[in-house]
């Protein structure tokens, strides 16, 4: 189990490095002064912020060095593992880890549904090319705010829009037509949104 967990976490680290390193290395990274490295405590707090409190409380925390080597800062007690990669925070369940692992190996993901929290949003991704690392003229780059992802082939049966240009404020399928299609489900704070909606109606 431990070995499996480590393998999966490494896979996730690779996913994040391939998907998001490019974004991190854009001009801004060159101009901005290098950020001081987070302490393990700061890193843990940041990683856990990707999930709701009740999930974060018992989630594991994985940290990766620049070579992608994983260090377990905290063992998971609820199946979720949280991490920060290139500024993206996420908390993924074991099925999501298996999905990301398959993605890394360019294999078909297991036919299981996985749940991943990204309540801090993401730095952007191509909505059509699973292996794109940066925005191009035709790869339908999309930046999404706080969301959850439902991954695995079964996510298709949700019947969400599969258009190339996603509206990141509404649920839709990312990477449609590939083995890695998954649902992107934007979420936001209930009370404040409810208040704003009520105010609009007045
Ligand atoms: Cu996401």
What is the pLDDT, as a whole number, of residue 34?
Answer: 58
Better pLDDT: 6 or 44: 44
* Ligand 1: centre distance to CA 184 (Å): 7
Segment 60-86 shows an average pLDDT of 89
The yes-or-no verdict on residue 31 having pLDDT over 60 is: no
Segment 155-183 shows an average pLDDT of 96
Sorted by where each begins, the domain ranges of the chain are 2-23+40-201
* Ligand 1: centre distance to CA 151 (Å): 10
Cα separation of the two ends of the chain? 55
* Ligand 1: centre distance to CA 122 (Å): 6
* Ligand 1: centre distance to CA 113 (Å): 15
pTM above 0.85, yes or no: no
pLDDT in tens, 110-168: 999 999 999 999 999 999 999 998 999 999 999 999 999 999 999 999 999 999 999 99
* Ligand 1: centre distance to CA 179 (Å): 16
């Amino acid at each position: 189990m431990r070995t499996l967990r480590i393998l999966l976490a490494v896979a996730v680290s690779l996913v994040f490095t391939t998907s998001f390193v490019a974004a991190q290395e854009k001009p801004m990274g060159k101009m901005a002064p290098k950020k001081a490295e987070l302490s393990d405590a700061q890193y843990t707090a940041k990683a856990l912020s990707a999930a709701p409190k009740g999930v974060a409380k018992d989630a594991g925390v994985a940290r990766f060095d620049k070579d992608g080597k994983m260090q377990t800062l905290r063992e998971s007690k609820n199946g979720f593992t949280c991490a920060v990669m290139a500024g993206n925070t996420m908390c993924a369940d074991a099925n999501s880890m298996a999905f990301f692992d398959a993605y890394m190996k360019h294999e078909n993901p297991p036919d299981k549904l996985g749940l991943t929290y990204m309540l801090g949003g993401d730095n952007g991704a191509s909505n059509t090319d699973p292996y794109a690392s940066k925005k191009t003229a035709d790869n339908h780059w999309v930046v999404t705010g706080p969301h959850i992802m439902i991954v695995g082939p079964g996510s298709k049966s949700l019947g969400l829009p599969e258009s190339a240009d996603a509206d990141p404020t509404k649920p839709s399928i990312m990477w449609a037509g590939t083995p890695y299609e998954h649902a992107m489900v934007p979420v936001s704070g209930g009370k404040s949104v409810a208040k704003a909606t009520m105010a609009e109606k007045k």
